[in-house]
Copies of this chain bind each other. A is one copy, B any other.
């Protein structure tokens, strides 16, 4: 077997997903199993090794073709040394993941944070396939991001590049404090959490909105569906989320000038209703040359972005 293959591992708090990719970023097959985080770091690392060997049998030509194993992890990482320093949803403290998995499997290992890895997956094998410069947003509980320039994942000096949720975009008078301690961060308005907060505020204020009739806890989907049905209060909330996304992109357009913005995560499922508004703001706020040919599109890989991107760490990071 002459073509190199790459294994990607998406290490989550409840499940470990594994994928096998070729050098073009195509996902050949996947496998998964429980993380068993409660059993401790050693058990989790043994599970990773076991699941990898269940996906690709050691000793086969396919195993020999595996050129590297990439792992995406949520937490504070020492990326060059492959160490998890701390993770909120895993029992890991200063665990030498790279070294331990390399010893178990005899293949080179790289780790990186989950948001960067998902962005790399989309850029390499998803909505950014074939282009060299793109910026990915994940609109979920928070707003995550990842930046690929000249075909490479940008990590920055201390691996803080692409923290797009913490761009300060909301003007002081309207800004609220973010979980990071700063005011006016993008994720205070454009994450699912931000959308829910604005909706709860509106309901609490007694604004006339169908959202006040929802009996279960409000979700971003409730707000987006109400906006699509013509609820003006919900429309204002979604427009605000769209406005600050577009504004953040206008800034990114003149800082790194990507060819494509790729939006994934739950909120992005609002589809063209949301994307149309973001594009309008982006066009209004961005100097002409920095928006020429620039596209704002939906992510394509969904939950597979993590394993594809992790596999791509050996070619693109």
Query: Given A182-B287, A256-B255, does the pair A152, B155 have CB atoms closer than 8 Å?
Result: no
User: How many copies make up the complex?
Assistant: 2
Which of the 9-residue segments A18-26, A96-104, A163-171, A222-230 touches chain B? A163-171
Stretch from A5-13, A188-196, A246-254 contacting the other chain:
A246-254
Tell me, in angstroms, the Cα distance from A178 to B247 when the chains sit together.
Answer: 17
Interface string of A150-175 (1 = CB under 8 A from B): 10101111111111101110011000
Q: Which residues of B contact A149 (CB under 8 A)?
A: 149, 154, 156, 161
Chain A positions 125 through 154: 1 when the CB is less than 8 Å from some CB of chain B, otherwise 0: 000000011000000000000010110101
Chain B residue contacts of A112, Cβ below 8 A: none
From B132, B152, B164, B290, A254 is in contact (CB under 8 Å) with: B164
- Assess whether A257 is in contact with B159, with CB atoms less than 8 Å apart: yes
Cβ 8 A contact of A255, one of B152, B164, B286, B287: B164
* Distance in angstroms between the alpha carbons of A256 and B251 in the assembled complex: 12
- Chain B residues with CB below 8 A from A164, complex form: 254-255
B158 touches A293 (CB 8 A): yes
Determine whether A304 belongs to the interface, using a CB cutoff of 8 Å to chain B: no
Question: Do residues B255 and A162 form an inter-chain contact, with CB atoms below 8 A?
Answer: yes
Select one of B180, B259, B287, B293 contacting A287, CB under 8 A: B180
Q: Which of B155, B157, B290 contacts A294 (CB 8 A)?
A: B157
Judged by a CB distance under 8 angstroms, whether A312 is at the interface is no
A181 and chain B: residue at smallest CB distance? B287
- What B residues does A161 contact at CB under 8 A? 149, 254-257
Q: Which residues of B contact A167 (CB under 8 A)?
A: 251, 254-255
Say whether A272 faces chain B, with CB atoms less than 8 Å apart. no
Highest count of chain B CB atoms <10 Å: which of A254, A256, A258: A254
**Minimal Cβ-Cβ distance residue in B for A294:** B157
A110 CA to B26 CA, complexed, in Å: 35
CA distance A289 to B265 in the complex (A): 24
In chain A, positions 209-226 with a C-beta closer than 8 Å to chain B are none
Of A152, A157, A164, A288, the most chain B CB neighbours within 10 A belong to A157
Instruction: Let me know if A65 is at the binding interface, CB within 8 A.
Output: no
A residues with CB within 8 A of B:
132-133, 147, 149-150, 152, 154-164, 166-168, 171-172, 180-182, 247, 250-259, 285-290, 292-294
**8 intermolecular pairs with C-beta atoms under 8 Å apart:** A157-B293, A160-B257, A163-B254, A163-B287, A167-B255, A180-B287, A181-B288, A182-B286
